[in-house]
Amino acid sequence: MNEMSKPGAEAKSGHNAPGSATLTLDGTGKSVTLPLVPGTIGPAVADIRKVYPELGIFTFDPGYGGTAATESKITYIDGDAGILLHRGYPIEQLAEKCSFLEVAYLLLNGELPNKAQMAEFDTGVTRHTMIHEQLRRFYDGFRRDAHPMAVMTGVVGAMSAFYHDSLDINDPEHRRISAFRLIAKVPTIAAWAYKYSIGQPFMYPRNDLSYAENFLYMMNAVPAEPYNVSPVLARAMDRILILHADHEQNASTSTVRLAGSTGANPFACIAAGIASLWGPAHGGANEAVLKMLAEIGHPKNIPDFIAKVKDKNSNVRLMGFGHRVYKNFDPRAKILQETCHEVLTELGIKDEPLLDLAMELEKIATHDEYFVSRKLYPNVDFYSGIILKAMGIPTSMFTVLFAVARTTGWISQWKEMMEDPSQRIGRPRQVYTGAPLRDVPTAAERG
């Protein structure tokens, strides 16, 4: 029925000559010209805002696979080529040359910091690592066996009730302080969720440690004895945080933006993002990978498992494989594959059955026609689960760790949205397929 001229191949390769696409409503003689909005790189975007007013039809894109919901300068992904850039910098270089806090600064502010800027940023984050003492009491209200993501959602949301002096979303200084508070306090909240679940005392943050070191310290130390953080493990943790820091308009980030578009405060928005991240199709996948590997148990069971995955009636998926955007190797997965070996060597783990199983699965899946034809490659969660397990992080904390890292991306995206004068409330439309207009029958008529 509709005919839309496609953006040219040049636009796909990044040479976005301004132009337009035309959408014609067959049989009506009506058409609308859609301006093509160029990006710096990547495909141009047809601006469809006039489609409804001029043609009276909505566009339909369940799951938003082909719809840009916003303009953003933070992260670029080329899923076909396996490229991920933050503010133009390749993720591989950031993971190699920068610390997590430097990447956080970059995501928030657009440029990497110089020494003075970094020192100021570091101090800003460090000064906010403690949480309000009364917030501590929230933990007692949870069951000890609560999933730490449930605790995270609750406690981060509750921050709105404590930090009234940074809730004015129209004040740039309030926004800046909220960003510091979230980035700084989320590791403390996360580590305490873990400590609570195992009945150990909460460890207060240590501001002499780096971000990653401090997180490991709060997770693993106990007051009764000294705890030394291994530099290799701290580096691995820092790298995992960098690799999970931001990923364009994924489900949780879109949730944060949608919540933020209503004018909700940043703590409430990030709590919404945490809830969205929890699902096994998103951040919950690294936990699901470990559960899947345990279920498979032995390489000899892989063929049966793969057969189940291919059976459309089984509802079983190969967790840690596939991605909505990447139709190639996830660049983050490649980096983590190396980190995985470094960590296992540092820990002296030579024969890790789960890793052997994972490698075998990777080999089979990357050669099997089912996965190859659907372009299902290992994603970041495939390896992060194994590394975290080797580091002694309990499975239930995997997604929490993801949330700690992604808080930086969420708050950067929220800040960008707040600074955008064209920002409007997010309000998608629908194709209504329910009952047409009808009269309510009386109780007697309903029988």
Residue 397 DSSP one-character state: G
| Calpha distance 423→401 (Å, rounded) | 30
Minimum separation from the CB atom of position 364 to ligand ACO (A): 12
What pairs with residue 35 in β-bridges? Answer: 20
Q: Which of 4, 281, 349, 372 binds ligand ACO (CB under 6 A)?
A: 281
Minimum separation from the CB atom of position 92 to ligand ACO (A): 17
Q: Which residues make Cβ contacts (< 8 Å) with residue 410, sequence separation at least 6?
A: 252, 253, 256, 269, 270, 273
> Does residue number 282 form part of the binding site for ligand ACO (CB under 6 A)?
yes
Q: Which of 317, 347, 368, 423 binds ligand ACO (CB under 6 A)?
A: 317
SS3 of 393-423: the string is CCHHHHHHHHHHHHHHHHHHHHHHHHCCCCC
Which C-beta is closer to ligand ACO: that of 97 or that of 374?
374
> Does residue number 291 form part of the binding site for ligand ACO (CB under 6 A)?
no
Q: Which residues make Cβ contacts (< 8 Å) with residue 320, sequence separation at least 6?
A: 285, 286, 288, 289, 292, 378, 379, 381, 382, 383, 385
Strands 45-46 and 89-90: unpaired
Q: Single out the segment in contact with ligand ACO by CB under 6 A; choices: 152-160, 190-198, 313-321, 340-348.
A: 313-321
Q: How far is CA 236 from the centre of its chain?
A: 19
Q: Single out the segment in contact with ligand ACO by CB under 6 A; choices: 98-106, 128-136, 264-272, 319-327.
A: 319-327
Q: Which of 128, 147, 323, 389 binds ligand ACO (CB under 6 A)?
A: 323
Q: Catalytic residue at 381?
A: yes
Which C-beta is closer to ligand ACO: that of 51 or that of 335?
335
Minimum separation from the CB atom of position 418 to ligand ACO (A): 25
Q: Which of 318, 343, 354, 361 binds ligand ACO (CB under 6 A)?
A: 318
Interactions with ligand ACO, residue window 162-221 (CB under 6 A): none
Three-class SS state of 436: coil
> Does residue number 321 form part of the binding site for ligand ACO (CB under 6 A)?
yes
Minimum separation from the CB atom of position 42 to ligand ACO (A): 18
Terminal-to-terminal C-alpha distance of the chain:
44
The alpha carbon dihedral of 258, 286, 182, 157 has a sign of: positive
In the set 86, 128, 247, 323, the catalytic residue is 323
Which C-beta is closer to ligand ACO: that of 214 or that of 250?
250
> Does residue number 285 form part of the binding site for ligand ACO (CB under 6 A)?
yes
In the set 238, 246, 330, 381, the catalytic residue is 381
Minimum separation from the CB atom of position 309 to ligand ACO (A): 5
Q: Closest residue (Cβ) to ligand ACO?
A: 322
> Does residue number 319 form part of the binding site for ligand ACO (CB under 6 A)?
yes
Give the relative orientation of helices 231-243 and 331-346 as an angle to the nearest 10 degrees: 170
Which C-beta is closer to ligand ACO: that of 159 or that of 376?
376
The alpha carbon dihedral of 351, 355, 357, 361 has a sign of: negative
Minimum separation from the CB atom of position 136 to ligand ACO (A): 31
Interactions with ligand ACO, residue window 351-390 (CB under 6 A): 374, 376, 379-381
Q: Catalytic residue at 323?
A: yes
> Does residue number 309 form part of the binding site for ligand ACO (CB under 6 A)?
yes
Residue that is written with structure tokens 């005919």 in the block: 3
Measured CA to CA in angstroms, residue 10 lies from 7, 15, 48, 178 at distances of 8, 5, 20, 41
Minimum separation from the CB atom of position 102 to ligand ACO (A): 22
Number of residues that bind ligand ACO (CB under 6 A): 18
Other beta carbons less than 10 A from residue 53's beta carbon: 8
Three-class SS state of 69: coil
Q: How far is CA 395 from the centre of its chain?
A: 18
Sequence letter at residue 156:
V
Residue that is written with structure tokens 């490649």 in the block: 334
Residue numbers at the binding site for ligand ACO (CB under 6 A): 281-283, 285, 309, 317-324, 374, 376, 379-381
- Which residues does the annotation mark as catalytic? 323, 381
